[in-house]
Amino acid sequence: MPEIDMTRITDNLMSVYNYAFIDAMPYGFYKPNDAMYVGVKLVDKMYHCPKCKGEFTVKYRNDNDGITYFSKSRIAAQKKVYEELGLDFPANWELMEQPFTYHIVGICNECARKDIMTSQEEGQHIYNLCHELHMQDELMAAKAKKYMTDSLQKWLDGITESSYLMQFDLSTRESLRDLICAVILQDTKAVEDALQEYRDTIQPIIYEAKKLLDKQTPAWKANVAHSCSLPDSMSDEEYHEYTVAFPDEASEGQEFYMEKSIEKDRVSMFLTQHRLTSLEEVLMDAGFHEEWIDMVVDKGTSLKK
Ligand SMILES: [Zn+2]
């Protein structure tokens, strides 16, 4: 596994997916000015699904002294959401003083399963295929790391004498690295099988999505899954550290669907990106994980006891 001096294929796929389907706002370095931004004591966000009347809340981390800056256009949009939900919007002076909840109306994952995810409407169907493809890309990357770790673990489990481990040069991180790479490279069956399965799975997805995309208009609207644990920018134009709120760890894994406009060019770009095709690429892409060094060191320590 050589050192990586290029963008990982998986990282690139992730950013192109975000560019096509999630907000792609430029980052700006500046402190918000009062003319365009309003400071809000933002504490959490609440998701509402009108289909099942389901609601759930995600707490934000308490960064920037608990104040997040909203662009005035976002405040106006949020006032409409409050109205739609029949809630009283706080007075201007209260925004910075009283805990504020950001409300989001969309479709919960359970309701989405019933119609959105099985929709045959072409624009939605294209998105659904891309979302599935995105999940397969992520899954492949996760499996590669797991199976490489498993290979190392299996090798370590087979060692019962410290003298066996001592025959290798364990004196530097470099030599440990070389040893670990050699161990992983001699047991790649699980990774190869996962790669084959990945390729067999994504091929028909890409084929079908491309076929539908050919007939599609340049832009359309579809319901897009958003991860509730991703940071939210409360600025409509540019985002910067003062407008971004980070959900706390408890929110991981939840998805919520919101309507978004989708551009054909961007979808096409996502579908035609280079994906992992060879074992060499998978191993390079997974990279080297420092915890592997700890596994070997811990094993050495436990044998000496
Ligand atoms: Zn619902």
Name the residue with higher pLDDT: 29 or 216. Answer: 216
Confidence of residue 4 (pLDDT cuts 50, 70, 90): very low
Q: What is the pLDDT of residues 232-257, one digit of tens each?
A: 889 887 777 788 888 887 766 789 99
Ligand 1 mean position to 22 CA, how many Å?
Answer: 21
pLDDT of residue 29 exceeding 90, the answer is no
Ligand 1 mean position to 178 CA, how many Å?
Answer: 51
Name the residue with higher pLDDT: 55 or 5. Answer: 55
Q: Which of 2, 23, 19 is nearest to 11 (CA)?
A: 19
Ligand 1 mean position to 116 CA, how many Å?
Answer: 11
pTM for this predicted structure: 0.84
In contact, 289 and 152? CB cutoff 8 Å: no
Ligand 1 mean position to 247 CA, how many Å?
Answer: 21
Counting residues of the chain whose pLDDT is more than 90, the rounded percentage is 74
Ligand 1 mean position to 102 CA, how many Å?
Answer: 18
Ligand 1 mean position to 49 CA, how many Å?
Answer: 5
Tell me the pLDDT of the chain averaged across its residues. 91
At 88, list the tokens.
């009283």
Lowest mean pLDDT among 70-74, 231-235, 255-259, 260-264: 231-235
In contact, 126 and 212? CB cutoff 8 Å: yes
Q: What is the pLDDT of residues 148-181, one digit of tens each?
A: 999 999 999 999 999 999 999 999 999 999 999 9
In contact, 79 and 245? CB cutoff 8 Å: no
For residue 123, give Cα distances in angstroms to 51, 136, 225, 268. 21, 20, 14, 13
Q: Check residue 27 and report its DSSP letter.
A: B
pLDDT at 27: 67
